[in-house]
Each structure stands twice: as C-alpha cells, then as structure tokens.
C-alpha cells in the first residue's frame, strides 16, 4: 500500500501540521539540510528522509506520531545518529523524529539513586550531573560524549563497564513512551521490579520498532572508593585471552576487560601516540578494577599474578585519574585510529562465549588471510564481545560488498560457537539478514507478534531487526502464520 502512495504524497499540508505542533524552527525539509540525516554511524546505507521534525516534549512527540499515523507515514526516531547498525536509517519518504532538542535532565533524585532524562540527553552528561555527589551512570559506549540516552535505550547499548554492571537494560527503571498510534504510556517506574509484564525490558533494545521513549528513568551508582587500571602486554593475543578466562575463573569480576591486537595497537600509536602500548606486542589486556581500596589492592595483585603466569612481558598499573586516562586513551581512540590507517573500516559486533576466544581469533586471522583484508581486533574481552575492524577502501567499487561478506562470515562464526550476532550495536538495517542464523522461524515470528501489537501498521522504524527483504515492504512481515495468529483476536 505504502509503495503506491508515497510517490504522490503531497507533503505541504502535512508539513503545515508538523509546524503547528513544533513550530517552523522544528521542521527541516530543505534538501541540503536533510543530507545530515541520510544515515547514522553506519554510513554504508543512505536514504534521505522527506521531513525531519524536532519536538521538545512528550506531547509534541505524540502529536507528530499521530499525524504520521493518520497519514500512514513511516517514522523513525533518531538521537545523535551514532548508532553502528543503521537503526536510525531513514526509509523512502519517511519522517525522521530527531530528539536533539529534548535534552533536559528532568529530575535528579540522589537519595533514591535515579535520574529522569529526556531522550536527547547525551550519555556522559548523566555522569557529569551526578559525579560531584559521588555517583555515575554505568553504561559507557565508546561514543558516550556524543550518543544520546534515547539511542542507548533503543539499541540496549553496552560499553567497557558492562562486564561488571550490565548493559543499558540493567539501568533503566522506567520509561514514558509514545506508542506508534500516538498514545502515551508509562512502563516500569521508580523501583527496580514492578509487577505485571516487564514492558520496560521489552522496550529497551527494540530499536524504535515499538515506539519512542520520551522520558527515561535511569539508575545511577555510587562511584567506587578506588579505581585502578592494569595494562598487561603479551607476546600473543591468545595469552591475553587465556588471562581473561583465568581472571573470571578466579571469581574476580573487574569493571572492564579489553583486548587490543597488534594491528590496533600500531594504529592507535600512529594516531594518538599514547606511548603506553608496545608496538611489538602480540596483544594487550586492559583491566579496570574498582571497589573498596582494600578490594582493589587485593584484586590488582591477583590479576597481575594471573597475567604473569600467562607470560605477560610487562604490567603497568595506574591509580591516579590522569594516569588511568592515559592507559585508556588508546582503547578509546581505537575506532578513530582505524579510520586513519585505512581509507575506510567496517566494524563488526559479535559475541562469543569467553572460552572460545582463542579459537575464534585464530579463525578471524584465517579469514583475514583468505580474504586479503587486514582485520584489527579490539574487544570487550570480559563479556566475549568482539569488535573486529575490517580495513578496506570504499572508493574501489565492489569492496564494501566483499567486506560485508567477510563481516557476515565472522557473525556466522560467532553463532557457530554459541554466541550472538550483536553484542551492543543492535541489529538495525545492517544485520537483519543474519537473524535466521540465531533464531528459528517460530522464534522470530513470536517477536513479530509483539511488534504487530505495538506497531500494527508497521510505521515505527520499518525494515529494521526482522529479516524480510527490504523491497517487500513492511506488510510482507506478516507471514501466513502471523495472520493466522491474529485471526481470532478481533473476537475478544
């Protein structure tokens, strides 16, 4: 239905309706201004939205969504546009609802350790707001100084500290939602476990396909009494991997554990020159240890011993904030550095059981040899979350497709060893075709039922997560089985 309508749509009266809600300043429709919004962090897919709308309040979001619903216009929510799986990728003739004017911190409740924010609030602002009082917000994606909490909620973002503290879903207590028909609903609340169905958990990670979060209640944590960072330098990346398993097996859960391979080390040393990461290292392991001072001191000792036992050539430990930042600097710059040493890079995001790390790294190396692409490995080793960076040159026609294929092989490898096709970047437009690698048709259908309930017209972020051919349009999502499921529903 949509495919027929959309070419002939007269946007003028619709834009007028948007302007009535958000003002003229809140609507972007000039072609050259729309270019910014053609893609998110996954730059290999592009599509220009018809209109961008920038609401400021829940009510404005609801009104905008109602207009879309009334006119059957697909709409896509976008935060800062830093997502790496194309979750905020527009579709043809869609409305992009951008939350960058929704940046108010609505409530800070230190006593109950929670903060209520609008979705456009930047991740790092939350910690900045409460750090003076000794608190912080745990999920810390690499993009934390620019990515939005709304986007984090949509993609269930992770970060370095998620090994110990869990990903976004573990830190969202409640949500105010605008559903795809424009109705406003509250899910969850101010206490961790609410009765009834856990719709908060359902919504987090649903990538905009169930509605738009307009107020988010976040849990904040007490800043640890003591933090230290340990850098261990190994002659092989496998030895770094074994150390990670040994640390966890010893019952220690550090704040974070990151591994970088030789290629990544040299890339960051070329670009940001930390002078901490030895260029001849086979792999470095960065461990952040937090807790009581006595606990940190004890764990630091135990971790150092484990690394030494596994052949670490050198161990550096930093406790003061400046020294710690210095050790982290290279890791934080790893993606950007890859962009400097290669014209382009394709970042993959997969998860494997920790114990499979040596095998998987070996297989990735074999893939690199076979395909001829250099692959840099940077990863959240503690939770088995890999981020292989495939280096290539996008100006050579056909290269992207080949690289995507290599990326796909890595994902299949992750699934084969019992892992997942996404750790923290989401499925978005990029990985939906790999969903059947992980889920049976019935499993996927079950998710689709849920989607159909919240989003029956398929207008909220169409073409994401679920592996339907993009060309088939959203209506095709409802397979015969789903239609059958819904047949009886009207009777109630």
Which has the closest alpha carbon to 367: 413, 423, 419, 334? 413
Q: Which residues of 396-435 are buried (b: 16+ CB within 10 A; e: fewer)?
A: eeebeeebbebbbbbbebbbebebbbbbbbbbbbbbbbbb
Q: Which of residues 371-410 bind a second copy (CB under 8 A)?
A: 383-384
Q: Which stretch binds a second copy (CB under 8 A): 57-65, 231-239, 261-269, 413-421?
A: 413-421
Query: Could you say whether residue 251 binds a second copy (CB under 8 A)?
Result: yes
Of 72, 100, 145, 201, the one binding a second copy (CB under 8 A) is: 201
Contact 113, 71 (CB under 8 A): no
Q: Which stretch binds a second copy (CB under 8 A): 286-294, 363-371, 372-380, 397-405?
A: 286-294
Q: Which stretch binds a second copy (CB under 8 A): 91-99, 180-188, 280-288, 303-311?
A: 180-188
Token output for 274: 């930390």
Relative to beta strand 75-78, strand 95-98 is parallel
Q: Which stretch binds a second copy (CB under 8 A): 55-63, 100-108, 188-196, 369-377?
A: 188-196
The rounded distance, in Å, linking the Cα atoms of 479 and 452 is 12
Query: Could you say whether residue 418 binds a second copy (CB under 8 A)?
Result: yes
In a 3-state reduction of DSSP, which class is residue 57? coil
Of 47, 236, 439, 470, the one binding a second copy (CB under 8 A) is: 439
Q: Nearest distance from residue 364's CB to a second copy, in Å?
A: 18
3-state helix, strand, coil in the chain (%, to 5): 40, 20, 35
Of 5, 33, 59, 225, the one binding a second copy (CB under 8 A) is: 225
Query: Could you say whether residue 471 binds a second copy (CB under 8 A)?
Result: no
Contact 262, 283 (CB under 8 A): yes
Site string for a second copy, 291-320 (x = CB under 8 A): xxxxx-xxx---------------------
> What separation in angstroms does the CA of 353 have from each of 259, 263, 358, 383, 491?
15, 23, 11, 8, 46
Q: Which stretch binds a second copy (CB under 8 A): 3-11, 22-30, 123-131, 220-228?
A: 220-228
CA dihedral 27, 32, 34, 37 (to 10 degrees): -140
The rounded distance, in Å, linking the Cα atoms of 407 and 336 is 19
Of 256, 426, 462, 473, the one binding a second copy (CB under 8 A) is: 426
Q: Which lies closer to a second copy via its Cβ, residue 23 or residue 436? A: 436
How many residues line the site for a second copy (CB under 8 A)? 93
Q: Which lies closer to a second copy via its Cβ, residue 306 or residue 421? A: 421
Q: Which of residues 472-491 bind a second copy (CB under 8 A)?
A: 475, 477-478, 482-483, 485-490
Q: For the range 438-446, what are the long-range contacts, defined as Cβ-Cβ under 8 Å and sequence gap of 24 or more?
A: 445/479, 445/481, 445/482, 445/485
Of 20, 35, 106, 185, the one binding a second copy (CB under 8 A) is: 185
Residue bearing tokens 């987090």: 204
Beta bridge partners of residue 219, listed in sequence order: 114
Contact 232, 254 (CB under 8 A): no
Q: Which lies closer to a second copy via its Cβ, residue 32 or residue 193? A: 193
- Residue 54's contacts (CB-CB under 8 Å, 6 or more residues apart) are 22, 25, 26, 27, 28, 98, 99, 100, 101
The rounded distance, in Å, linking the Cα atoms of 147 and 100 is 10
Sign of CA dihedral 259, 261, 267, 272: positive
Q: Which of residues 149-178 bind a second copy (CB under 8 A)?
A: 156, 158, 166-167, 169-170
Q: Which lies closer to a second copy via its Cβ, residue 251 or residue 398? A: 251
Q: Nearest distance from residue 455's CB to a second copy, in Å?
A: 10
Q: What angle, 0 to 180 degrees and rounded to 10, lies between the N-to-C axes of helices 293-309 and 237-249?
A: 140
Q: Which lies closer to a second copy via its Cβ, residue 278 or residue 408? A: 408
Query: Could you say whether residue 359 binds a second copy (CB under 8 A)?
Result: no
Site string for a second copy, 122-141 (x = CB under 8 A): ------------x-------
Q: Which stretch binds a second copy (CB under 8 A): 31-39, 257-265, 314-322, 425-433?
A: 425-433
Q: Which lies closer to a second copy via its Cβ, residue 322 or residue 489? A: 489
Q: Which of residues 339-358 bind a second copy (CB under 8 A)?
A: 351, 353-355
Q: Which of residues 317-336 bind a second copy (CB under 8 A)?
A: none
Q: Nearest distance from residue 96's CB to a second copy, in Å?
A: 23
Q: Which of residues 61-120 bind a second copy (CB under 8 A)?
A: 111-112
Query: Could you say whether residue 440 binds a second copy (CB under 8 A)?
Result: yes
Sign of CA dihedral 428, 432, 434, 435: positive
Sign of CA dihedral 371, 377, 382, 383: negative
Q: Nearest distance from residue 382's CB to a second copy, in Å?
A: 12
Of 8, 32, 132, 196, the one binding a second copy (CB under 8 A) is: 196
Contact 26, 56 (CB under 8 A): yes
Q: Which lies closer to a second copy via its Cβ, residue 192 or residue 469? A: 192
Query: Could you say whether residue 424 binds a second copy (CB under 8 A)?
Result: yes
Q: Nearest distance from residue 321's CB to a second copy, in Å?
A: 18
Q: Nearest distance from residue 492's CB to a second copy, in Å?
A: 3
Residue 279 per-residue DSSP state: T
The rounded distance, in Å, linking the Cα atoms of 315 and 414 is 30
């Amino acid at each position: 239905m949509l495919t027929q309508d959309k070419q002939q749509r007269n946007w003028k009266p619709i834009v007028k309706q948007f302007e009535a809600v958000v003002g003229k300043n809140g609507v972007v429709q000039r072609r050259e201004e729309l270019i910014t919004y053609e893609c998110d962090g996954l730059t290999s897919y592009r599509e220009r939205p018809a209109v961008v709308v920038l609401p400021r309040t829940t009510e404005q979001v609801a009104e905008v969504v109602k207009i879309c619903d009334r006119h059957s216009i697909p709409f896509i929510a976008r935060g800062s546009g830093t997502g790496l799986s194309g979750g905020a990728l527009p579709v043809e003739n869609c409305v992009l609802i951008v939350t960058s004017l929704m940046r108010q911190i609505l409530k800070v409740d230190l006593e109950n350790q929670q903060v209520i924010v609008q979705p456009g609030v930047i991740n790092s602002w939350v910690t900045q707001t409460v750090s003076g009082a000794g608190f912080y917000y745990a999920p810390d994606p690499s993009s934390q100084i620019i990515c939005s909490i709304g986007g984090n909620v949509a993609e269930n973002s992770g970060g370095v500290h998620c090994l110990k503290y869990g990903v976004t879903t573990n830190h969202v207590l409640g949500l105010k939602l605008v559903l795809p028909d424009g109705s406003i609903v509250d899910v969850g609340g101010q206490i961790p476990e609410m009765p009834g169905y856990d719709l908060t958990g359902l919504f987090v990670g649903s990538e905009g396909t169930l509605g738009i979060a307009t107020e988010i209640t976040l849990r904040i944590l007490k800043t640890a009494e003591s933090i230290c960072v340990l850098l261990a330098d190994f002659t092989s990346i496998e030895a770094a991997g074994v150390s990670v398993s040994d640390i966890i097996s010893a019952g220690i859960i550090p704040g974070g554990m990151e591994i970088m391979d030789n290629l990544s080390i040299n890339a960051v040393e070329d670009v940001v020159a930390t002078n901490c990461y030895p260029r001849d290292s086979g792999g470095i392991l960065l461990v952040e240890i937090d807790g009581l001072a006595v606990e940190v001191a004890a764990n630091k000792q135990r971790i150092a011993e484990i690394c030494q036992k596994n052949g670490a050539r050198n161990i550096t430990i930093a406790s003061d904030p400046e020294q710690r930042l210095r050790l982290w600097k290279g890791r934080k710059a790893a993606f950007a550095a890859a962009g400097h040493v290669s014209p382009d890079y394709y970042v993959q995001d997969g998860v494997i059981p920790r114990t499979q790390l040596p095998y998987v790294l070996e297989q990735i190396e074999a893939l690199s040899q076979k395909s001829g692409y250099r692959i840099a490995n940077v990863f959240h080793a503690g939770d088995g979350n890999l981020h292989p960076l495939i280096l290539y040159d996008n100006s050579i026609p056909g290269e992207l497709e080949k690289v995507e294929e290599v990326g796909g092989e890595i994902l299949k490898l992750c699934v084969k060893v019992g892992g997942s096709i996404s750790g923290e970047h989401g499925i978005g437009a990029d990985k939906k075709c790999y969903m059947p690698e992980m889920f049976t048709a019935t499993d996927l259908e079950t998710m689709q039922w849920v989607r159909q309930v919240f989003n029956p017209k398929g207008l909220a972020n169409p073409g994401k997560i679920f592996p339907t051919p993009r060309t088939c349009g959203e209506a095709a999502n409802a397979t015969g089985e789903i239609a059958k499921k819904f047949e009886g529903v009207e009777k109630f």
